[in-house]
Structure formats: C-alpha cells, structure tokens
Amino acid sequence: MHLAVMLLLVTAQTPQTAYSMEFGAITAFDDAAIQIGFRATPAVANKSGADILLATFPDAVIHGVMLFLLDVDATYGAPLGEQVTLFPRFGGTVLAGGGNGGSGGAYGYNFGVGVLGRASPTLGMRIDYTHHRLVGGSGSGTLPFSSITIGIVWMH
C-alpha cells in the first residue's frame, strides 16, 4: 500500500507519465534469469522526474523463493527525435525476498538508460538497460548484476 501511494505522489507531479509492463533478462554470477516488472517514469522530453521499477523473478518462484527488486531513480528525458526519447537514470536499489525458511535483503545503487518510442500519444514501447551494484546486506562484498528489458507502455 505504501508503495502505491509513493508511486502516485511521485508520478502526480509529472505532466505525462509512462507506465510499462516489462519482460527481460537479468544476469548475475554468469547466469541469467527472467525478470518481469512494472515501471512508472516520465514520458516527456526535456523534463526530469522519478523512474520507479518494481520487479520479480519467476525462476526464483519456481524454486520456492519470492524475490523483489525495487529501483528508485532520478531521470531526465533527452529527445532523440519527434517520437523517441532517451532517459538516462541513476538511483537506489533494494533486493529483498524470502522462502524455504529464510529471508533477507540487500541495498545498493543502479544506473541505466531507457529508450521510449511512441506509437501514438498514449501507446509506445520501451527498452531499458540497468546495471546494479548491491553494496549492503547479509553477504559480504559487492554484487554487480545487469538487466535488459522491453515493455509495452501506456501514457497518461
């Protein structure tokens, strides 16, 4: 509930917001897993705002573990053309989950870039690359991992 309120407050300040359901792959330890998620981000060029992603991993669910990834980033829309906008971003990451008798979490930072292409004033497609680095949690050291996703976007 708190996440939904936060999403509404952050995106209410944006003149036009893009919401997307994303699908892609995330890599860590030379292995890849499927990532699915929901993203709320600005949809307007030459504007800054918050980019928020909430994702999970079906491969983990199959093995009895529920993992969630939350990215909260600052972004700016740089126009690449009339219908295409580039969104570089930087922010914080939280990875948390539990299952099989245990739970845990870690925090860190991420940076990435998204490209939003408009098919109409209210529909589009988005491709994103994100590099994460977890720096805190139950493990020692840092854990780098990257993801690439593609999503269908509706704009409001």
* 55-78 pLDDT per residue, tens: 999 988 888 888 899 999 999 999
CATH code for the domain defined by 2-155: 2.40.160.20
User: Is 58 in contact with 37 (CB distance < 8 Å)?
Assistant: no
Dihedrals phi, psi of 27, to nearest 5 degrees: -120, 140
Identify the three-state secondary structure at position 59: helix
Determine the pLDDT at residue 114: 97
Instruction: Say how far apart CA 35 and CA 76 lie, in whole Å.
Output: 24
The residue ranges of every structural domain in the chain are 2-155
Give per-residue pLDDT as tens, 127-136: 999 999 998 7
Note the pTM of the prediction, 2 decimals: 0.83
User: Is 95 in contact with 67 (CB distance < 8 Å)?
Assistant: yes
Q: What average pLDDT does range 19-31 have in this prediction?
A: 87
